[in-house]
Amino acid sequence: MDVDLDYEAFRAVMGSFASGVAVVTTRTPAGEPYGLTCSSVCSVSADPPLLLACIRTPSRTLDVLRESGVFAVNFLDAHGREISRRFAGPVQDKFDGVPWRPGTARGVPVLDRVLAHAECSIQQLIDAGDHVVVIGLLVGGDVDRSRSPLGYWRGSYMQVYRMDQPGSIRVEVPEIVEPHGVGDAEMVVELGFGLERIGL
Ligand SMILES: Cc1cc2nc3c(=O)[nH]c(=O)nc-3n(C[C@H](O)[C@H](O)[C@H](O)COP(=O)(O)O)c2cc1C
């Protein structure tokens, strides 16, 4: 079977699973911050509290993370598209102009204006194909319940609203999706109007 075809099929299938967007951060022993945009983050265990992030190799952030043994996962809110792009790009100093502070548990960079952050110490690193699965033990964190998440689905950023609180549903079609293709845009706009009908 054609390898490229396999890769496209894999991307199409896995891209169908909607996620949030996070910035995984770490620091050198001297305190210099590093980070990357990461959507492959998931909860692993409640007791002990473990989460994972999958990081593609090579990665500057992963190199520093291996050395420091600590990292933070910063969950972006609906206004976080620019931050997401910045931490996914080839920018030399990704933190330039981005407000952040050292986390209280391990001094790992915590971004301002995020939904929540988790400070972690590395529990396990597992090589898996072209990625490394980083499993972290939660050692600190915080949640801001006033914010709503930035979503990511089939290569587009999304706004996400709660369906169990109809009054809070806000439909701003141009903001709902940043289309990469007309097909996706049509699909999401339809969904947006659907939510509006259910909610009001
Ligand atoms: C929405 C989005 C999600 C991403 N998710 C991941 C991911 O889960 N794992 C990963 O390794 N890279 C992911 N990336 C790509 C990295 O952010 C990108 O390769 C980054 O430049 C790596 O930075 P570094 O080499 O400085 O560590 C994602 C990018 C975007 C825009």
Q: Tell me: the pLDDT tens digits for 48-91?
A: 999 999 999 999 999 999 999 999 999 999 999 999 999 999 99
Question: Cβ < 6 Å from ligand 1: which residues?
Answer: 21, 36-40, 54-56, 59-61, 84, 87-88, 152
Give yes or no for residue 169 having a pLDDT over 60: no
53 Cα: distance to centroid of ligand 1 (angstroms): 11
**Residue the block writes with tokens 């939510």:** 195
Q: What is the pLDDT of residue 168?
A: 55
Domain ranges across the chain: 3-150, 161-199
Separation between Cα atoms, residue 80 and residue 151, nearest integer Å = 10
The protein residue with its alpha carbon nearest to ligand 1, atom 21, reads 88
Q: What angle do CA 93, 58, 31 make, to 5 degrees?
A: 40
Distances (CA, A) of 19 to 40, 45, 160: 8, 19, 10
Give yes or no for residue 128 having a pLDDT over 90: yes
Q: What is the pLDDT of residue 170?
A: 52
166 Cα: distance to centroid of ligand 1 (angstroms): 34
Query: Looking at the chain, how many residues does it have?
Result: 200
Give yes or no for residue 188 having a pLDDT over 60: no
Summarize the confidence of residues 130-154 as an average pLDDT: 97
Distances (CA, A) of 28 to 3, 32, 53, 64, 173: 38, 5, 19, 6, 42
Q: What global pTM score does this model have?
A: 0.85
Q: What is the pLDDT of residue 41?
A: 98
26 Cα: distance to centroid of ligand 1 (angstroms): 14
Identify the CATH number of the domain defined by range 3-150. Answer: 2.30.110.10
Summarize the confidence of residues 164-187 as an average pLDDT: 46
| Higher-scoring residue by pLDDT: 162, 18 | 18
Q: What is the pLDDT of residue 3?
A: 57
In the predicted model, what is the mean pLDDT of the chain?
85
39 Cα: distance to centroid of ligand 1 (angstroms): 8
- How far the first Cα of the chain sits from its last, in Å, is 49
Single-letter amino acid code for the residue at 31: G
Percentage helix, strand, coil for the chain under 3-state DSSP, each rounded to 5: 25, 40, 35
Give yes or no for residue 197 having a pLDDT over 50: no
37 Cα: distance to centroid of ligand 1 (angstroms): 5
% of the chain surpassing 90 pLDDT: 76
Give yes or no for residue 4 having a pLDDT over 80: no
Q: What is the pLDDT of residue 142?
A: 97
Summarize the confidence of residues 23-39 as an average pLDDT: 97
pLDDT in tens, 16-29: 999 999 999 999 99
Separation between Cα atoms, residue 63 and residue 67, nearest integer Å = 7
Q: Please choose from 17, 36, 67, 82 the residue to mutate so as to test ligand 1's pocket, defined by most ligand atoms within 8 A of CB.
A: 36
200 Cα: distance to centroid of ligand 1 (angstroms): 38
| Higher-scoring residue by pLDDT: 197, 18 | 18
Q: Which atom of ligand 1 is nearest to the CA of 157?
A: 1
Q: What angle do CA 56, 57, 58 make, to 5 degrees?
A: 130
Q: Please choose from 23, 37, 85 the residue to mutate so as to test ligand 1's pocket, defined by most ligand atoms within 8 A of CB.
A: 37
